[in-house]
Amino acid sequence: MSRIDPDRVQVILATDCGSTTTKAILIQKIDGVFRQTHRGEAPTTVEEPFADVTMGVLNAVTETQELAGRRLIDADGRIIQPASGDEGCDIYISTSSAGGGLQMMVAGVIRQMTAESAKRAALGAGAIVMDVIAANDKRRPHEQIQRIRELRPDMILVSGGVDGGTTTHVVRLAELIAPAKPRPRFGSEYTLPIIYAGNADAAPLVADVITDGFDLTVVDNLRPVLERENLGPARDAIHDLFLEHVMAHAPGYDKLIQWTDAPIMPTPGAVGNILETIARERGINVVGVDIGGATTDVFSVFDGVFNRTVSANLGMSYSISNVCAEAGMDNILRWVHIPMDARELRNRVKNKMIRPTTIPQSLEALVFEQAVAREALRLAYLQHKEFATTLKGVQRQRTVGDTFSQESSGETIVDNMALNLLVASGGVLSHAPSMRQTAMLLIDAFEPEGFTTLAKDSIFMMPHLGVLAEVHPQASVEVFERDCLIHLGAVAAAAGSGKPGQACFRYQVRGDTLEASGEMRVGDMKLYPLGLGETARVAIQPERGFDFGAGPGRAVERDVEGGTVGLILDARGRPLQVEGGVEGWVRALELYPEGSVA
């Protein structure tokens, strides 16, 4: 990988090798600003008969170069670097989630402490965590060994003990892994990488236990003291080993690694990276969601703390049955505003599961799919809230004033009132026939409070930009703001509850193109047009018991940005009460106008 001078970069090529599709985007500097100009895609070629990921990459890049009129591949089938005139690119980067992505197992001493930190490190690096082994996971040692043996992870992250803390528990974890000898997915020649990020005193003892058949890497403790997490070294080690071991054994990746100017990152890790960068650069709190067919990823950055969760059984095709089982059909149908036959719906669920690529052909099918999506997103967000917590096992300082309000540690750090930007990606959100439907899906599932900007990832570009942020942060932020996100608009939602029809808040909106004022009653929703690039000043006077961030009943004034949907005023209260039916909300936002679906 060559050194890059950011000032001389004019053309950037990025690819994302997904399980089914490889997507390429071309970013060019136009009038001094980086813009995403062209994109192409082709089927991924990791599996037989091709068994070479670079073939798919070249196909996707070929489509891009044809659209761009810029030669990117030379006669030998290599990406031309650096750019000169009308050919080549200055930076080539790639992410990968092909072959199921990075599958890891993590281990720690206490499930809620070092094991949880290890899980956070693995998820943050873009891995799928298959299981967490801990001293207090209520499994007998032979059960734990059996589980490790069955899992066949790509990598294991072992943590445990603060520096100078327990060594016996940590060594005991190593003694579970060593005899289990988990068989890797990539054949017998693969040496299973194990990252040890635990008590430094125990490292030599762990090295004595984990010897043959493993590749042990020791990094700094991810929990040097219980009061602080140090996930960076473990995450970096995961990325390095992902390249050296996992990618190196995947078909064609050895070539792809040589082509790229930055290490290939797991796709979710890259998405997390760009959201973390944006949150840091703008000083905001961000939640991102990527709902797929089998899984739903939720990313959040609150007060600079990044968290990612993968809800493995919540998705819109392979996992749709599980969503229905977990949420319950009644909870799904509460989002439906037209009569539906339960038996037909069950058939529809199973059909979607066995034919995952089908898309809704009727209004009824669309409404039902979006109802399922609401529940999948809601459940995924609940799981995320439970995971994204303050550190446990930390000593607390109190005063006598805390007598009756002793907050315990491990409280969620996800605060919907403090949320500034909510970003959606994934088929059901990105490809909804109407942007209003996407906005409403987000509002119903995530229940943002106060003022929140809604956006969606236009062409699932976030992975590309995540890895680009590693080599050229300026380019990634510029493209993210201008081309990646489609701003849907803003939502102003009241937190609190009241009886339907009761006064909720009064509002006044002043902007260049919009002047409005009025009163909202509990259960009301209103949409005002506020186009892309337009801003307005919204003044809200909530009634007693309702909050927009300044406290119950306190007035708030805020500038909001418009988007393709506009400004949504939401007086339904939080937590959302859906029992009264959704017809009124569907009508207020004209979510499903006649003839909108074939």
Partner 1 sequence: MRRWITASACLVWTTAAAAQVPGGPTGLEAVDYPWDNGTRIQLTWSLSPDDDTLLGYAVRRRLADDPQQTLIDILPPGTSAYTVPDLDPELAYLFAVTAIAQDNTESAPASTLAPVTPSVQAFDGTRLWFMVTLVLFSGAVVVFIRMARTGRDLKVRKIAGLEAVTEAVGRATEMGRSCLYVPGIQDMNDIQTIASMNVLSHVARTAAEYDAKLEVPTSKSLVMTAARETVETAFLSAGRPDAYNPDLIYYVTDEQFGFVAYAQGMMVREKPAACFYLGSFFAESLILAEMGNSIGAIQVAGTAQPAQLPFFVAACDYTLIGEEFFAASAYLSGEPDQMGSLKGQDVGKLIVAVGILAGVGGMTLAAVTGSDLIQSMVDYFTQRMLT
CA distance 64 to 15: 11
143: Cβ–Cβ under 8 A, 6 or more apart, which residues?
none
CB atoms within 10 A of CB 229: 19
Which amino acid, residue 275?
L
**Structure-token pair, residue 124:** 């943050």
Q: How far is the CB of 144 from partner 1 (least distance, A)?
A: 14
Type of residue numbered 15: T
Select 2 or 406, whichever has its Cβ closest to partner 1.
Answer: 406
Strand partners, 17: 22, 96
**Where do we find the tokens 């960076």?**
232
Estimate to the nearest angstrom the gap between the alpha carbon of 427 and the chain centroid. Answer: 14
Nearer to partner 1, 393 or 473 (CB): 393
Query: Would you state the structure tokens that stand for residue 218, as one six-digit string?
Result: 């020791």
| Closer by beta carbon to partner 1, 94 or else 144 | 144
DSSP 177-246: HHHH-PPPTT-TTPPEEEEE-S-GGGHHHHHHHS-TTEEEEE---S-SBTTB---HHHHHHHHHHIIIII
CA separation for the pair 21, 44 (Å, rounded):
5
- Whichever of 357 and 408 has its CB closer to partner 1, that residue is 408
Q: How far apart are CA 11 and CA 79, in angstroms?
A: 12
Cα distance between the two ends of the chain: 50
Q: Which is nearer to partner 1, 167 or 285 (CB)?
A: 167
Q: Which two tokens stand for residue 36?
A: 């995403």
What is the closest distance, in whole angstroms, from the C-beta atom of residue 375 to partner 1 in the complex?
23
Least CB distance to partner 1 at residue 204 (A): 16
Q: How far apart are CA 428 and CA 437, in angstroms?
A: 10
Does residue 454 contact residue 527 with C-beta atoms inside 8 Å? no
Task: Find the shortest distance in angstroms from Cβ 304 to partner 1.
Answer: 24
Query: Peptide bond preceding 575: is omega within 30 degrees of 0, i.e. cis?
Result: yes
| Count of all residues that appear for the chain in the document | 598
Is residue 252 within 8 A of residue 282, CB to CB? The reply is no
Q: If we measure between CA atoms, which residue out of 231, 160, 175, 234 comes closest to residue 207?
A: 175
Using alpha carbons, list the distances in angstroms from residue 299 to 19, 26, 259. Answer: 20, 25, 29
| Contacts to partner 1 by CB under 8 A | 109-110, 112-114, 135-136, 138, 160-162, 164-169, 199, 223, 226, 392-393, 395-396, 398-400, 402-404, 406-410
- Tell me how far, at minimum, the Cβ of 155 lies from partner 1, in Å: 23
The residue among 166 and 317 lying less far from partner 1, judged by its C-beta, is: 166
If the CB atoms of residues 402 and 557 are measured against partner 1, the closer one turns out to be: 402
d(CA 180, CA 144): 9
Q: List, in sequence order, every beta strand (DSSP E) within 304-352.
A: 305-311
Nearer to partner 1, 398 or 537 (CB): 398
Minimum gap (Å) between residue 389 Cβ and partner 1? 12
Name which of 166 and 476 has its Cβ closer to partner 1. 166
Compute the least distance from the CB of residue 418 to partner 1, in Å. Answer: 23
Cβ 176 to partner 1 shortest distance, Å: 14
Nearest C-alpha neighbor of 308 from the set 238, 224, 407:
238
Closest to partner 1 by CB, 67 vs 394, is: 394
Please say which residue, 398 or 482, places its beta carbon nearer to partner 1: 398
CB of 431 to partner 1, least distance (A): 41
Minimum CB distance to partner 1, residue 406 (Å): 4
Give the shortest CB-221-to-partner 1 separation in angstroms. Answer: 11
Minimum Å gap between C-beta 210 and partner 1 is 20
Give strand ranges (E) for 383-482: 421-425, 450-457
Beta carbon nearer to partner 1, 136 or 517: 136
Residue 524 to residue 82: CA distance in whole angstroms: 57
